[in-house]
């Protein structure tokens, strides 16, 4: 018997990825879909402007979309809700006993909500008993911002091996990161926009420290290194590219750093979770990689790709990283979080 799950924000860019990625999942089965009042009452096929290859599975296309006030039967709810509503809706559903596995930014920095990357900080789920005491049973688990996903995975092995002193990052972010219809075509064609709303730079400058920090007596203690970020929207469909510069606690060679990155593994790999990439980081040696079109789909888009690991004369090292923003950076991340929670017997 598969575990029935619901998808909140099912009609959006992230919601559609959930539908696509959960189609043949060995443990979970899509049973309920919710979105705004604009979609409620329609079948999913009618309500959704499907933007992915192929069609949604027939059975899912026939499900009737509800609004988020519905009484959900599924204990596990994935959320790709717009941030304008995600905060209140997710809080209400957790207090009704659901496990809300969310992509939205609203609860990421809450003091008892894990900001989880299963390879990096699986033990942060130990904050859940504290949260469950507050909610009365259910809980919220979040995954990071889509750029932070690639950044934090690339920083984690360096932080462990050498310590991080400071980090600078410049992002080149794909169009799908803005949802659908997203940025107007007349604004982005033949163009780069050096601004992303919704506090993108602030998220990139604060979420990695929570992820790479520790949990002490039920409280998160952020890692102390500072990050500075500059973000750009570029005319790429999927895949966020980042130029990352790091100053390390203990200096090392680019070759040693590349080895540490390539050998990085975590609990999802040990447990062989269904969505776990075999190698979370692929380190490429070609001087012109990673590139979004060529590298974003590695390991079903769940691997982060790193290239051009080299010495830097202001920082110690610099390199490029690429993450598929709607898979590893959103829906795939939440599914891997749910798999970790199931493997640790923490699903309600
Ligand atoms: N795109 C990415 O790469 C990415 C990555 C990581 C995290 N995220 C986060 O994931 C969330 C969804 O992003 P997205 O790109 O999928 O956005 P999107 O394409 O705009 O989709 C938003 C979804 O929220 C629903 N919604 C909007 N207003 C609502 C309301 N008042 N009540 C209930 N549902 C409502 C929409 O339903 P209708 O169709 O009925 O309007 C739609 O299903 C955001 O919080 C975003 O920050 C996105």
Q: Does the pLDDT value for residue 98 go beyond 90?
A: yes
Catalytic residue among 98, 107, 146, 282: 146
Catalytic residue among 98, 124, 159, 240: 240
- Residue 143 Cβ < 6 Å to ligand 1: no
To test the pocket of ligand 1, the residue of 6, 14, 21, 44 to mutate (highest count of ligand atoms within 8 Å of its CB) is: 14
Q: What is the pLDDT of residue 229?
A: 98
Q: Which two tokens stand for residue 161?
A: 């091996």
The number of the ligand 1 atom at minimal distance from the alpha carbon of 10 is: 43
Q: Give residues with Cβ within 8 angstroms of 158, minimum separation 6.
A: 164, 246, 248, 257, 260, 261, 317
- Residue 177 Cβ < 6 Å to ligand 1: yes
Per-residue pLDDT of 104-130, as tens digits, reads 999 999 999 999 999 999 999 999 999
- Residue 330 Cβ < 6 Å to ligand 1: yes
% residues pLDDT > 70 (the chain): 100
Gap between the Cα atoms of 34 and 176, Å rounded = 20
Asked about 240 being catalytic, the answer comes back as yes
Per-residue pLDDT of 214-232, as tens digits, reads 999 989 999 999 999 999 9
The number of the ligand 1 atom at minimal distance from the alpha carbon of 325 is: 3
- Residue 12 Cβ < 6 Å to ligand 1: yes
Per-residue pLDDT of 26-82, as tens digits, reads 999 999 999 999 999 999 999 999 999 999 999 999 999 999 999 999 999 999 999
DSSP of 16-35, one letter per residue? HHHHHHHTT-SSEEEEEEE-
CA of 224 relative to ligand 1 center, distance in Å: 32
Rounded to the nearest angstrom, the gap between the alpha carbon of residue 96 and the centroid of all alpha carbons in its chain is: 25
Phi, psi angles (nearest 5°) of residue 225: -75, 145
Residue 180 pLDDT level (bands cut at 50, 70, 90): confident
- Residue 66 Cβ < 6 Å to ligand 1: no
Residue 172 pLDDT level (bands cut at 50, 70, 90): very high
Asked about 232 being catalytic, the answer comes back as no
Taking CA atoms only, the protein residue closest to ligand 1 atom 11 is 80
CA of 8 relative to ligand 1 center, distance in Å: 9
Q: Which two tokens stand for residue 127?
A: 């904050």
CA of 15 relative to ligand 1 center, distance in Å: 7
- CA 4-10-16 angle, 5° bins: 100
Per-residue pLDDT of 66-91, as tens digits, reads 999 999 999 999 999 999 999 999 99
- Residue 196 Cβ < 6 Å to ligand 1: no
CB 283 within 8 A of CB 129: no
Q: What is the pLDDT of residue 58?
A: 96
CB 115 within 8 A of CB 211: yes
CA of 334 relative to ligand 1 center, distance in Å: 14
Q: What is the DSSP letter of 329?
A: I
**DSSP E strand boundaries for 154-269:** 164-173, 192-193, 214-216, 219-221, 227-234, 240-248
Per-residue pLDDT of 124-161, as tens digits, reads 999 999 999 999 989 999 999 999 999 999 999 999 99
Residue whose pair of structure tokens reads 């099912």 in the numeric block? 10
């Amino acid at each position: 018997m598969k575990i029935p799950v619901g998808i909140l924000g099912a009609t959006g860019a992230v919601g559609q990825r959930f539908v696509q990625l959960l189609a043949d999942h060995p443990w979970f089965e899509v049973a309920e879909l919710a979105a705004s009042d604009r979609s409620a009452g329609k079948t999913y096929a009618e309500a959704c402007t499907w933007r992915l290859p192929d069609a949604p599975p027939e059975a899912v296309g026939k499900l009737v979309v509800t609004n988020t006030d519905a009484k959900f039967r599924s204990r596990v709810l994935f959320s790709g809700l717009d941030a304008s509503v995600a905060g209140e809706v997710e809080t209400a559903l957790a207090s009704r006993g659901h496990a809300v596995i969310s992509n939205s930014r609203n609860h990421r920095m809450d003091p008892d909500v894990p900001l989880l990357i299963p390879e990096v900080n699986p033990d942060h789920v130990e904050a859940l008993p504290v949260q469950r005491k507050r909610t009365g049973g259910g809980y919220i688990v979040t995954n990071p911002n889509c750029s932070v996903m690639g950044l934090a995975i690339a920083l984690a092995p360096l932080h462990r091996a050498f310590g991080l002193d400071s980090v600078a990052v410049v992002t080149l972010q794909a169009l799908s990161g803005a949802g659908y219809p997203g940025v107007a075509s007349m604004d982005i064609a033949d163009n780069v926009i050096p601004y992303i709303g919704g506090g993108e730079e602030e998220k990139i400058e604060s979420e990695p420290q929570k992820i790479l920090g520790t949990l002490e007596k039920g409280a998160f203690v952020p890692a102390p290194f500072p990050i500075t970020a500059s973000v750009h929207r570029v005319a790429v469909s999927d895949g966020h590219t980042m130029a990352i510069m790091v100053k390390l606690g203990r200096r090392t060679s680019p070759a040693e750093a590349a080895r540490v990155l390539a050998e990085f593994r975590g609990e999802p790999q040990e447990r062989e979770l269904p969505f776990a990439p075999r190698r979370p980081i692929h380190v490429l040696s070609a001087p012109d990689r990673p590139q979004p079109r060529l590298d974003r789909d590695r390991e079903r888009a769940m691997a982060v790709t790193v290239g051009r690991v080299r010495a830097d004369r202001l920082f110690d090292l610099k390199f490029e990283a690429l993450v598929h923003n709607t898979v590893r950076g959103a829906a795939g991340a939440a599914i891997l979080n749910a798999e970790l929670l199931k493997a640790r017997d923490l699903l309600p």
